[in-house]
Structure 1
Amino acid sequence: MKFSRSQIIQNSIAISLVVGVFVFLYATSAPRELYLTAGLVVAVLLLILLANRALTISLDRKLPWLTHGNKRFYSQLSIGVLVSLIIINLSYFLFKITLTEDPPVGSQIATINALSILILLPIISINFGIQFLKRWKNAQLASEEFQKESIKAELNALKNHLDPHFLFNNLNILSSLISKDQKQSQAYLEKFAEVYRIILQSSSEELVELKQELSFVSAYMYLLEIRFEDTIQLSMAIDKKDEALYLPPLTLQMLIENAIKHNTVSELRPLKIHVESQNGYISIKNNLQEKKVELPNSGQTGLENIKRRYSYFTTKPVEVIKNPNSFIVRVPLINISEI
């Protein structure tokens, strides 16, 4: 278990106080009963500390502060006080049974519980306040970092699609289609406009439905299929129920673009891209035929960007699988009700 700097400081202070108590008792030649009492108090405090820490870890997973603030506060406060009181009562009962000849008296138990509640409520409440502020601060920092990553991804996407070569190629194709097939040129122009419209719309969105992303991919692939003819082949196997799930915008397009960028494409060796959703993931698979000449800035920056963007919404990993004959990227689909 890793401890933060604040936890190390708190633990050090607690240990110092415990040692100080026993040193004081030893220096004043305190009787055996005081040592036993002090030892019992220390044991009870440690048990309460460990129990509440375990409760905090459990509720961090089930009821995060930032999404279930009120419910988390009252749940942890009530459960924390209840668990602490159980530990105090059991310890007091064992103390009375084993170290004294007097059985526990109802008035004594009531007094101990009343005092414990008066002490525990403010201490636990202050601790909750510290926890909430700490997590709120971390969430703010994470949100700012996510916004930077999103803006960076959007700018990269816009840069790629507004690249002069991309525009020139598409306009050149459109020009040739106009003279050959006006119906197809009209369809090409509509898809061309749709690609740019969706790219501009996505700049204000953190997540989009898979259905919307697939619509964009369809328009984007139409442009590529006209340009590359039969040398790029796209197939899809999407479960209908997955279309209502979410993912960061342009994720599939970036992965398809990476596949085209890093693999040779020819009539003899067409690039086959298969998109499939299964078990809460969507996978993009292509046959591996890597280009021999390494492209400038051709590192896995796109994949790293996608991984960082996903890390803000889910703990599920982005999986990259490279085989001798294929390259597969699996990205999780996000259920926004679970965020």
Structure 2
Amino acid sequence: MKEDLWKNFHIQLSAHYVVILAMCMADYGLLLLLNKHLPYSKNIFLRIMADIVGISAICLILLWIFNFFIYNVFLVPEEGLPPFIVKFAFAMTTNVPILLVFELIHYFQSEQKAIADSEKAKRKILLFQHETLRSQINPHFLFNSLNVLSSLIYINPDNANKFTKALSKTYRYVLSLSQQPLVFVSEELDALDSYVYLMRTRFEDSFTFQIDRISDGERNKIVPLTLQLLIENAFKHNVATEESLLNIKITIDSDYITVENNIQPSSSADKGGIGLKYITKQYRIYAKEVTVKQTEGLFIVKIPYI
């Protein structure tokens, strides 16, 4: 009997290596399947049960294939070999560490990916703030502001002083955002007052501006300068005159901030600046979608809270 066992030892050893290799491949496939359809974050108890059921099924299937080849193909006698239950227990004690190693490898890879994604998101936010700042201090914006200020100095010194303070407050807010990826809605609205004052001084009675507070959403957070940039886009792409008023309305509710304006396309619209597309990308960093809707007479943008 011992001679028969040693005679077929190389066959059994080779078969065991094949089984271990197949077990590794099956465990990896099981890991990918469960991570896709039943991750730990969804239900940790069900995931552990699925792991146990999965490796048990893998062991049973591989042992059945192993026995078939050993006994039916290579015709190794069953006498003296361990029973099926012992082989199953051995397979389970082998398979559990294999799956555990794969789980740990996947965990550390996920952690590294999460860190890399976080750093990438931070870089995008910093780029957004840099581009926003550059947009605000571009020569065209400064030229218009200084031109208005120059006129006010001679016509109305008091208003010139107010305009200077509003301009200063606007830039101070922009410069303060270097360490703030998100701001409270209340902060954004406070800074928006100065910007609207600048626009009011420049365009006078050529537009209307209204804020409706349907619910208290001012303690929620949004990406900095979102409202200012949307208002800037409204002026950039539409005509604003006393004969054709540009009507801008901001609505604050429990889920969104809605910015809307009537559509009066300008033939000489400035196509520069950050634009709505770039704002949309910033909210996608936080898995939030900006809703853009255009009717026959209105352009509507709904900003989600973060």
TM-based fold match above 0.5: yes
- 2:250: which partner in 1? 275
User: Per the alignment, do residues 121 and 330 of structure 1 end up closer, same or farther by CA in structure 2, a change over 3 Å counting?
Assistant: same
Partners of 2:38 and 2:123 lie apart in 1 by 25
Residue 293 of structure 1 aligns to a residue whose secondary structure is coil
The alignment status of 1:206 with 2:181, answered yes or no, reads yes
Structure 2 partner of 1:159: 138
Task: Classify the secondary structure of the residue corresponding to 1:311.
Answer: helix
C-alpha distance in 1 between matches for 2:209 and 2:154: 25
Aligned Cα root-mean-square deviation (Å)? 3.9
Q: Which residue pairs with 1:302 in the alignment?
A: 275
CA distance in 1, matches of 2:223, 2:83: 64
With the length of structure 2 as denominator, give the TM-score of the two structures. 0.73
8 Å Cα contact 2:209-2:247 kept in structure 1: yes
1:36-185 equivalences in 2 (<5 Å): 48-57=27-36, 62=41, 82-90=49-57, 92=59, 105=85, 110-159=89-138, 163-173=142-152, 175-178=154-157, 182=158
Unmatched tracts of structure 2, length 5 or more = 1-10, 69-81
Q: Cα–Cα, structure 1 residues 212 and 133, in superposed 2: closer, same or farther, change >3 Å?
A: same
State the secondary structure of the residue aligned to 2:205. Answer: helix
- Which amino acid is 1:269 matched to? S
The answer (yes or no) to whether the contact 1:284–1:329 under 8 Å persists in 2 is yes
The alpha-carbon deviation at position 110 of structure 1 amounts to 4.3
Equivalent pair of 1:174/1:188 in contact (CA under 8 Å): no
SS in 2 for 1:241: coil
The change in CA–CA distance for 1:52 and 1:80 in structure 2 (over 3 A counts) is: farther
Structure 1 residue 326: Cα displacement: 1.5
> Alignment partner of 1:258: what SS?
helix
1:326 and 2:298 matched: yes
Distance 1:321 1:52, change over 3 A: same
Residue type of the alignment partner of 1:291: S
Q: Are 2:167 and 2:198, in contact at CA under 8 Å, matched by a contact in 1?
A: yes
User: In 1, Cα distance between the equivalents of 2:61 and 2:247?
Assistant: 72
CA–CA separation in structure 2 for the residues paired with 1:263 and 1:138: 38
Match of 2:201 in 1: 226
Question: SS in structure 2 opposite 1:88?
Answer: helix
Is the 2:63–2:87 contact (alpha carbons within 8 Å) kept by the matching residues of 1? no
Q: Structure 1 pair 45/204, CA: closer, same or farther in 2 (3 Å)?
A: closer
Percent identity, aligned pairs only, is: 23
- Distance in 2, Cα, partners of 1:136 & 1:195: 34
SS state at 2:194 partner: helix
Aligned match of 2:213 in 224, 227, 238? Answer: 238
CA separation in 1, counterparts of 2:39 and 2:207?
Answer: 46
Q: Any conservation in 2 of the 1:285–1:326 contact (CA below 8 Å)?
A: yes
2: CA distance between counterparts of 1:322 and 1:61? 41
Mean CA deviation greater in 263-272 or 216-225: 216-225
Distance in 2 of aligned mates of 1:149 and 1:316:
16
1:253-276 residue CA offsets vs partner (Å, 9 max, x unmatched): 111011112211111111100111
2:50 partner amino acid? V
Q: In structure 2, do the counterparts of structure 1 residues 254 and 231 end up closer, same or farther at CA, with 3 Å as the change threshold?
A: same
Distance 1:160 1:47 in 2: 63
TM-score in terms of structure 1 length: 0.67
Q: What code does the residue aligned with 1:159 have?
A: N
Pick one of 197, 218, 240 that aligns with 2:172.
Answer: 197
For structure 1, the 5+ residue unaligned runs are: 1-29, 64-74, 335-339
Query: What is the rounded CA distance, in whole Å, between the counterparts of 1:249 and 1:168 in structure 2?
Result: 27
Shift of 1:143: 3.2
Partner of 1:261: 236
Given that residues 215 and 254 in structure 2 are in contact (C-alpha distance below 8 angstroms), is that contact kept between their aligned partners in structure 1? no
* Cα pair distance change 1:224/1:144, threshold 3 Å: closer
Deviation of 1:135 (Å):
4.1
